[in-house]
Amino acid sequence: MRVTGADLVDLSGELTEITLTWTDSPTSVGSPVSFNQANHLAAHAAATSNPVWIAGTVELGDSAGPPPNPQHIADVVRQVVAEQEALRLRFSWTPEPRQHVLDPTHLRTGLVTHGQADTADIVALINSRCHPQVSPGICFALVGRTLLCAFDHAHADALTVDIILRRLHLLSTNTSAQAAAPPGFVGRCVADAADVDRFRTPDGCDDTETIERLAGWRNFFTETGGKVPTFPLPLGDVPANTPQRTLVRTVLSADDAGAIDAGLFATVLADLASVIDDLGGPSRLAALIPLHTRGQRDSGWHDTAGWMVTNAPVLVDAGDRAGARSSLRAAIDLARVPLPIVLERCAPQLPSGDIFMISYLDYRKLGPRLPGAQHISACSTADDVQIWFSRSEDGLDVRVRHPATPGATGVVDAVIERLTDRLRARAVDTSTAVAAG
């Protein structure tokens, strides 16, 4: 999976949209939304954000063979939308955000030929389809042999893109491929809301484990001066509503990533902390990392689409790989406390609109390589730095989202260049040591 942004992707070809029409009202109404959905919907209602969507593409068939049949692909899309509750949601936010589920039997698909299109045309189409006031805010299309799916963020997280692409690709070649219906996303939101309510009861946070986890969160915010951490190097002047810049680089080849292999994310964090220290920043890196909340592989939730992500804290000293591994293990435990409870009990300040975060996802663990697969994020504004590392059969890539200002660009480019050099040198040293041993 190539992880990129709408400002870097190259899509062009004959565009056929697969339209989705709902013939009746939702049959399940008024369910609570998740914490992430609530924040997303609030930003949209306050008109404080541009369209925030995520999309994916996969190549269909052999270039020497016949092109995909649009009606067949429309049938596949209808089946996938029917399977996934998160793709059949309508939202309301008065007086509080709620989600309502459409019945799959009320779905009708159609085909609209838009003619020859380029990236700007396709991004404009996604912008018009994927926002909370569209019901649901999702989009499917064929661009030549490329199958595109796109979702307003309220419907999907990064793993959802992979889940949907895999199912679409499988059904495009094998319509009889059956799969047990995954658990519904809304039911998970209801359960999570009940869990938050339980923590808010007089005895909800009084058990030993929760007390210790909240203490871990408080220690983290003590390290950050009572604030949600920001990128630890100065970015210069960043005016309000600064457009984002997206940087995508290959950090390690497959061989180099394999040479480091065990504990790769911990190594990345330790070396990133060293680079920041070298550039005049703090010697300890404080950041939030996103963690999916689908649980272990046998939890049943791994094939469920939806926004199922929390955040957890890491503190990593420059060059301390063992400490980074320990911090990652601790982060998984601290993430057991729901974020609404963390924010209520710890009350950290939020100094920027964006959250400085560092993500890592190993796509090799999600299934076989998908042909030409891409994860594409919308372009918006930015006032801080967000970093995604993605591991695939091709190695380790990084995508960075940051303010498109000269100061921020210079700092981010220097960090990624030095980090790449450091990691590649480490891979060479590791390979040499293995060969000598």
- Superfamily for the 205-436 domain: Nonribosomal peptide synthetase, condensation domain (3.30.559.30)
Q: How far apart are CA 417 and CA 415, in angstroms?
A: 6
Mean pLDDT along residues 93-97: 86
Mean pLDDT along residues 261-268: 91
- What is the SS3 assignment for 148-163? EEEEEHHHCCHHHHHH
Instruction: State residue 134's pLDDT score.
Output: 82
CB-count burial class (<10 Å; 0-12, 13-18, 19+) for 170: middle
Is the predicted pLDDT of residue 380 greater than 70, yes or no?
yes
* Domain positions in the chain: 2-188, 205-436
- Token pair, residue 106, equals 């009320």
Instruction: State residue 284's pLDDT score.
Output: 98
CB-count burial class (<10 Å; 0-12, 13-18, 19+) for 175: exposed
Helices 321-334/208-223 angle, 10° precision: 130
205-436 has the same fold as 2-188: yes
Instruction: State residue 434's pLDDT score.
Output: 56
Helix residue spans in 335-405 (DSSP H): 339-346
Instruction: State residue 433's pLDDT score.
Output: 56
Confidence of residue 48 (pLDDT cuts 50, 70, 90): low
Number of H helices, E strands in the chain: 11, 16
**144: CB partners within 8 A, 6+ apart:** 12, 13, 14, 67
List pLDDT tens digits, range 266-279. Answer: 999 999 999 999 99
Query: What predicted TM-score, i.e. pTM, was given to this entire model?
Result: 0.96
Q: How far apart are CA 89 and CA 160, in angstroms?
A: 15
Q: How far apart are CA 136 and CA 118, in angstroms?
A: 25
Please provide the average confidence, as pLDDT, over all residues in the chain: 94
Is the predicted pLDDT of residue 60 greater than 80, yes or no?
yes
- Superfamily for the 2-188 domain: Chloramphenicol acetyltransferase-like domain (3.30.559.10)
HSE at residue 321, side-chain half, CA atoms within 13 A, is 11
List pLDDT tens digits, range 104-148. Answer: 999 999 999 999 999 999 999 999 999 988 889 999 999 999 999
Q: How far apart are CA 396 and CA 398, in angstroms?
A: 7
| Lowest mean pLDDT segment, chosen from 47-51, 82-86, 160-164 | 47-51
